[in-house]
C-alpha cells in the first residue's frame, strides 16, 4: 500500500542485450536516494564496473504514535532539538522502553501518555510495519526484467542503511552474493536465531562515530561482537591487526 521509489544508474552506452551485475546502496537515516547517489559519485561507479548502481528510498516513519512522541520529546528536551528521524529503514532498529525511560530522566512519567503502545510492548521500533526486505527483492526482480540484471547482486549500506543491509543478509529470501557495511549495526528487531550471514562481508567502523557508537549506543550494542559473529559464521580465523600507511595528505589519517 506504499508508493516507493528508487534510482537506477546504467553504464554509459548501456545495452540491454548484455547482462549486468547490480550494486544496491542503502542510504542512512535522514538520507535520500538522490543525495547518497551524488555523494557516492554513482555514475562513475556504474561506468567503472559496467554495473547497474541502484539507490532505493526509505519512507517516512509510518507510526503516528512514534512520530508524535519524537516531536514532543524534542520539545521537552528529552531528545536533542537537532535530532531528526526521517526516512528510517524497516531495519529492526529498536529502542527499549528502559532506555527511553533513562533518557527521559525526571520527565519519564510522560512516556506512557506519549507512547502507550510502545511502553506496553517494551520497545519502539522504527518503521516496524515496513517490509523493506521485500522492497529490495521487488527492485531486484524488476531490474532482472527491465535491465537484464544477472545473479551478481551486491548490497551496501551506511549507518541505518548498514542495519538494513544486515537485516537483508539475515533474511531467508536474501539474494545478495556479498554485502558491505559502513558503520552499520544489527537491530534488536532482526531475527538472527539459527541464522547466519554466510556470504562475504566487508565491514567498516570508526571508534569516533558519534551515532553508531563502537561500544554501543541508542540503537546498537557493542560492534565487535557483531563483527566476530559474522567472521565466525564465515569460517574466518583469528583477527589480524595491521598498520596501514597514511599515504595521502588529505586530512584523513589511518
Residue with cell 567503472: 48
**pLDDT of 79 above 80:** no
Q: Are strands 6-9 and 52-56 parallel, antiparallel or unpaired?
A: antiparallel
pLDDT tens digits, residue range 113-130? 888 998 999 999 999 999
In terms of Cβ atoms closer than 10 Å to its own Cβ (0-12, 13-18, 19+), residue 15 is exposed
pLDDT tens digits, residue range 16-57? 999 999 999 999 999 999 999 999 999 999 999 999 999 999
**pLDDT of 68 above 90:** no
**pLDDT of 253 above 70:** no
d(CA 48, CA 19): 15
pTM given for the model: 0.92
pLDDT for the residue numbered 167? 98
pLDDT tens digits, residue range 190-209? 999 999 999 999 999 999 89
pLDDT for the residue numbered 74? 78
Give backbone dihedrals phi and psi of 124, rounded to 5 degrees, phi first: -120, 135
pLDDT tens digits, residue range 136-188? 999 999 999 999 999 999 999 999 999 999 999 999 999 999 999 999 999 99
pLDDT tens digits, residue range 80-90? 766 678 899 99
Amino acid at each position: 500500500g506504499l508508493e516507493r521509489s528508487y534510482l537506477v544508474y546504467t553504464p554509459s552506452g548501456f545495452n540491454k542485450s548484455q547482462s549486468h551485475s547490480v550494486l544496491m546502496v542503502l542510504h542512512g537515516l535522514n538520507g535520500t536516494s538522490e543525495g547518497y547517489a551524488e555523494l557516492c559519485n554513482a555514475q562513475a561507479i556504474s561506468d567503472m564496473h559496467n554495473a547497474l548502481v541502484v539507490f532505493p528510498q526509505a519512507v517516512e516513519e509510518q507510526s503516528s504514535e512514534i512520530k508524535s512522541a519524537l516531536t514532543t520529546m524534542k520539545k521537552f528536551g528529552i531528545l536533542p532539538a537537532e535530532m531528526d528521524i526521517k526516512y528510517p529503514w524497516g531495519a529492526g532498529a529498536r529502542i527499549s522502553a528502559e532506555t527511553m525511560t533513562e533518557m527521559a530522566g525526571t520527565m519519564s512519567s510522560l512516556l506512557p501518555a506519549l507512547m502507550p503502545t510502545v511502553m506496553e510492548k517494551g520497545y519502539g521500533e522504527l518503521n516496524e510495519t515496513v517490509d523493506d526486505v521485500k522492497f529490495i527483492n521487488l527492485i531486484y526482480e524488476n531490474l532482472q526484467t527491465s535491465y537484464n540484471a544477472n545473479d551478481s547482486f551486491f548490497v551496501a549500506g551506511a549507518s541505518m542503511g548498514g542495519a538494513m543491509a544486515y537485516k537483508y543478509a539475515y533474511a531467508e529470501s536474501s539474494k545478495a552474493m556479498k554485502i558491505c557495511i559502513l558503520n552499520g549495526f544489527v537491530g534488536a528487531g532482526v531475527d538472527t536465531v539459527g541464522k547466519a550471514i554466510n556470504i562475504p562481508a566487508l565491514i567498516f567502523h570508526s571508534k569516533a562515530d558519534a551515532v553508531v557508537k563502537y561500544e554501543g549506543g541508542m540503537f546498537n550494542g557493542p560492534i565487535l561482537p557483531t563483527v566476530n559473529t559474522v567472521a565466525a559464521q564465515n569460517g574466518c580465523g583469528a583477527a589480524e591487526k595491521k598498520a596501514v600507511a597514511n599515504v595521502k595528505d588529505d586530512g584523513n589519517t589511518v
